[in-house]
Amino acid sequence: MPIKKTLVISNQNTEGPMDDGNAPPDHLQPFMLDVSQLRGRIVRLPQVANDILAAHNYPPAISRLLAEALCLTTLLAGMLKFDGIFTLQLKGQGALKTMVCDITTGGMLRGYAYFSEEKLAALGAAPDLMTLAVKGYLAFTVDQANSAERYQGITELAGSTLTEAVQHYFRQSEQIDTGFVTQIDQDKDGAWKIAGILLQQLAREGGTPLSDTDEDAWRRSMMLLNTLQPGELLDEVTPLNTILYKLFHEEGIRVFPPLAITKGCRCSIDKIRTVIDGLSVDEQQEYADNGVITVTCEFCNKHYEIPVASIDKGE
Ligand SMILES: [Zn+2]
């Protein structure tokens, strides 16, 4: 079946082997289903997300939610059409106060959570999303590099998992049918295994409704997606492209160059200094201990020690 129109997807071509080739273990694999005209991305994060979670050492319920958020953030990195940063933010008024994950166009991923240990302890072993993040909402932000331009979408939390909440946002706010599957597990040694897949309609001009053919294609592809077995994406022995082929070979699948995902933080002493410079002298004195302000990056736990004397240059 011929492809109906030119695809507007940056940095992608139509070549690509069906094994993962030389892709690193942590990678995001974009793909396209020619017959149903859907785009998708599949990701597995055996090392990177685990490194991020191990560095924080949060209680299990927070780690699991952050694992899911890191997976979804990586899948949504495709929202970046130009150089920039995609941020997924979850805010709540219960045990969970804030969870933030972001990823650069180059695949550098990070995330952290801020929560009340006391409130969390009162919730039991495995609280669901709504119990953790009472009166919560989600924010999706795209910051384009070298530009003040910023896109932000905000929605109230709906659903019992973060994956459902993100899916709900795309249906309601973006009006783009999007299907997500995320699989998260922790092995007996405590290592996290994280993988996910996204399937999405191409954006239609001016909100044109789906044709019957498109509706059929969507339903058919979602049925195929839902044949995934629990934990199937996590099995590192099976290359991601083998899974894609098994699921969608009848839909004319094409894969594009994968994006390597790395753990990384963009904090720097210069950025911290700018924040401290923005404080009044009184505030600086308040935060200082023996003339030094210690700042810890919440994303990567790196400590910065800034002597107040070096800030008060004007005095
Ligand atoms: Zn940092």
pLDDT in tens, 111-159: 999 999 999 999 988 888 999 999 999 999 999 888 878 889 999 999 9
What's the 170 CA to ligand 1 centre distance in angstroms? 30
CA count, 13 A, side-chain hemisphere, 137? 7
Q: If you average pLDDT over every residue of the chain, what do you get?
A: 87
Question: pLDDT category, 13, cuts 50, 70, 90?
Answer: very low
What's the confidence (pLDDT) of residue 204? 67
What's the 308 CA to ligand 1 centre distance in angstroms? 21
- % of the chain residues with pLDDT over 90: 62
Q: Tell whether the model's pLDDT for residue 107 goes beyond 90.
A: yes
What's the confidence (pLDDT) of residue 313? 46
Per-residue pLDDT reduced to its tens digit, 246-262: 999 999 999 999 999 99
**pTM metric for this prediction:** 0.88
What's the 310 CA to ligand 1 centre distance in angstroms? 21
Question: pLDDT category, 62, cuts 50, 70, 90?
Answer: very high
Mean pLDDT of 265-278: 90
- The string over 76-115, giving b where at least 16 C-beta atoms fall within 10 Å of a residue's C-beta and e elsewhere, is bbbebeeebbbbbbbbbebbbbebbbbbbbebbbbbbbeb
What's the 57 CA to ligand 1 centre distance in angstroms? 16
What's the 215 CA to ligand 1 centre distance in angstroms? 44
What's the 111 CA to ligand 1 centre distance in angstroms? 10
